[in-house]
Copies of this chain bind each other. A is one copy, B any other.
């Protein structure tokens, strides 16, 4: 990745009301006065900015799973896709929610192992065992 995104970040001072509203919500939810560049670049497409922010907020809210578990799942996907931005930003978010170095190490060990056995199962072309169809549901 080069040092320049496809379009430059839209700073608050230059943003329109629609974009500023999202920035305000991001800062309020996080209790900071700072917005990261992912959102500032996405701001060139205000409809996508709004929709993505609303979606992330909904998906990452506490529910049947707690927010730290959700951040860990996010990191696992980001590693597997090789998204450096997402690995760094979500590790930072997870640490802010209490992720320890020991937990991070185990998370990465699981992700590594899963990538290996995914490859092994695919390589050997193992059909799904009858008992596992539907993820083992009855």
Contacts and interface: CB of A to CB of B under 8 A. Distances in A.
Interface string A74-112: 101111111111111101110110001111111111111
Interface in A22-60: 34, 36-38, 41-42, 44-45, 47-48, 51-52, 55-56, 58-60
A52 B117 contact: yes
Interface in A96-138: 96, 100-129, 131-137
A7 interface: yes
**How many copies, total?**
6
Interface size class of A (residues with CB under 8 A): 35 or more
Given A37-B126, A125-B84, A132-B89, A114 B77 contact: yes
A63 B119 contact: no
Interface of A: 1-7, 34, 36-38, 41-42, 44-45, 47-48, 51-52, 55-56, 58-60, 63-65, 69-70, 72-74, 76-89, 91-93, 95-96, 100-129, 131-137
Which 8 pairs between the two chains have the least Cβ-Cβ distance? A92-B136, A91-B135, A45-B105, A116-B116, A4-B134, A77-B114, A64-B102, A115-B119
